[in-house]
Amino acid sequence: MTTQPDATHEFRVTDLNVYYGRVHVLQDVSFSMGTEPLGVIGRNGMGKTTLVKAIAGFVPARSGSIEFEGKDVAGKQPYQINHAGIAYVPQGRRIFPSLSVHEHLTMVGAKKSARWNVPAIYDLFPRLAERRKNSGAALSGGEQQMLAIGRALLSNPRLVVMDEPSEGLAPAVVDHLAEVLRGVVREGQAVLLIEQNLRFATELCDRILVMVNGRIAADMAASEIANNPEVQNKYLGVV
Amino acid sequence: MDQFLLIALNGLTLAAVYFLVASGLTLIFGLMRVITMAHGTSYLLGGYIGYVIARETGNWLLGALGAAIAVGVLGLIIHQVLIRRFQDDDMRVALVTLGVSLIGTDLMLAVFGGTATQVAIPAAFQVGLPLPGLGSYPLIRLLILLVAVLVGVGLTLFINKTRYGSIVRAGVDDSQMTSATGVNVRVVFASIFFLGSALAGFAGVVGGTLFPLLPGQDGSYLLFSLVVVIVGGMGSVPGAAIGAALVGIVSQFALVYAPTYSLVLTFALMVVVLAIRPQGILGRRSAT
């Protein structure tokens, strides 16, 4: 396993449809990405979280395919998707209350020789090293987010899917997180980032997809949207 | 004074058996939250299997090992075939396992009959150990106490100190998220169900060595191990040890000083503990 993506590294979602009961949440969603970080933004309830849950194997897709490195992972169990090279940082972090910080990291079972092993995560987030004996439930929101990211990286994935890592965090913490993640991305780590925080998304990703009502409404360069209040208003209704 | 000490020791060795049964239940019910009504059946079946193997081979250890493995495998099959498909529906799991236990009880009655049997032990262990103030005390009872302590320490370390233990606890907290870290949670849970059932089978051999095996014990051991797990705190192995010690000692003293109220006092213990600590002695207040 290596974090250096190979040439065949491609993540492709094709005509993905997801229903909750009779509600058609994702409608023919298609996009693809390589190793460059990709941001997905949109207002609440537009289907962003459903998209990542479908990718992670948490909700079933009615139709369509999710291919990674040529393999279709749609309909697979979450652990099979993880083994295929996709790691998941869920919304709300989903830290295990019964485990200490250190146990969260060791349970993943990363090889000592891998790029991401337990000491490497402590280097990335020294704050976690300080709190290694603490229960996951006793951490602050920012620390929990670091732990959730560390837990995902320890699978040494070739793609990390993150669902709103900035949610509920203080601005200073968000800035710190963005800085750390920029370093990770610069190393060549592929990231699919779901965000409501436009600034966070555009700082990390050069390419942004906009989701509106379960569809991809726009696919544009981050610079196009970052400094364009008109576009922002249209898709995000930032008032 | 001698009598007091004797009762206390009897209580503790009885507690050792209760603990061995309950340690399996604390994995299955306390930790994994599978409401099984067949745990006492696993205990009695283990006792009978151990009895047969020990009788045929003359080897107690082989009987204990064989019973643990056989009951463990049977538990695993029941988990995979019956329990797993209803795993999010407690009531159905309880009813299905109740059905399994009723069928198992009758099958055992048909095969082993209604008379008491006891697992044989080598003559070398059928001796008394001289103890100060007591004269002599059966060596086998003290050995069983030691075995229970070893099992308790081993299980505690396994759950709290190993990577596999972390995975089990994570799986109980959030099985979907645990799966997303690359763990096949289904296999992990199956292995814990195997371990819990195997412990019940092993406990049956130990219990069947100290006391006669009889139809009906499946029900009473299920009841006592439930009390132990609830008093000690769900999912806590040291809690189960404390719970077993309390239940064992209270029931033995009650048997001597207030025999009529022995059973009542055991449950009164549970009522008192739950009134003071609803989560059990070492249980954690659940967040959800």
Q: How far apart are CA B222 and CA B207, in angstroms?
A: 13
Are the beta carbons of B173 and A58 separated by less than 8 Å? Answer: no
pLDDT tens, B119-161? Answer: 988 777 888 888 877 778 889 999 999 999 999 999 999 999 9
Per-residue pLDDT in tens (0 to 9) along chain A, 239 residues: 444 444 467 999 999 999 998 899 999 999 999 999 999 999 888 899 999 999 999 999 999 999 999 999 999 999 999 999 999 999 999 999 999 999 999 999 999 999 999 999 999 999 999 999 999 989 999 999 999 999 999 999 999 999 999 999 999 999 999 999 999 999 999 999 999 888 899 999 999 999 999 999 999 999 888 888 888 888 877 54
Instruction: Provide the ipTM.
Output: 0.91
Contact assignment for B177 to A107 by CB distance below 8 Å: no
Number of domains in chain A: 1
DSSP state string for chain B = -HHHHHHHHHHHHHHHHHHHHHHHHIIIIIIT----S-HHHHHHHHHHHHHHHHHHH--HHHHHHHHHHHHHHHHHHHIIIIIGGGTT-HHHHHHHHHHHHHHHHHHHHHHH-SS-B-----GGGSSEEEETTTEEEEHHHHHHHHHHHHHHHHHHHHHHHSHHHHHHHHHHH-HHHHHHTT--HHHHHHHHHHHHHHHHHHHHHHHHHHS-B-TTHHHHHHHHHHHHHHHH-TT-HHHHHHHHHHHHHHHHHHHHH-GGGHHHHHHHHHHHHHHH-TT-SSPPPP--
Mutation for B interface: A86, A103, A153, A163, most B CBs within 10 A: A103
Boundaries of domain holding B198: 2-214
Give the pLDDT confidence of B250-283 residue by residue, as tens digits: 999 998 898 888 888 888 999 999 999 999 999 8
Q: Is residue B142 part of a domain?
A: yes
Model pTM score: 0.89
User: Sheet harboring A86-89: ordered strands across?
Assistant: A86-89, A159-163, A191-195, A38-41, A207-212, A215-221
The pLDDT of residue B285 is 65
> Would you state the pLDDT for residue B30?
87
**CATH number, domain with residue A203:** 3.40.50.300
Q: Which residues does chain B have within 8 Å of residue A85's beta carbon, measured at their own beta carbons? A: none
- Residue A16 counted as domain residue: no
Mutate one of B160, B179, B189 to test the A interface: name it (highest A CB count within 10 A).
B179
Q: What angle do CA A77, A80, A81 make, to 5 degrees?
A: 90
pLDDT bin (cut points 50, 70, 90) of residue B198 is: very high
Does some domain include residue B269? no
User: Number of folded domains in chain B?
Assistant: 1
Instruction: Tell me the per-residue pLDDT of B202-235, one tens digit each, with 9 for 90 and over.
Output: 999 999 999 999 998 999 999 999 999 999 998 8
Asked whether residue B77 is assigned to any structural domain, the reply reads: yes
- The residues that bridge with A23 in the sheet, in sequence order, are A20
- Domain membership of residue A177 (yes or no) is yes
Pairing of strands A159-163, A86-89: parallel
Residue B224 lies in a domain: no
Nearest Cα of chain B lies from the Cα of A238 at a distance, in angstroms, of: 32
**Residue among A82, A106, A137 whose CB faces B163 most closely:** A106
Whether the CB-CB separation of A31 and A208 falls below 8 Å is answered with no
What is residue A238's predicted lDDT score, i.e. its pLDDT? Answer: 53
Supply the range of the domain harboring residue A182: 36-60+76-234
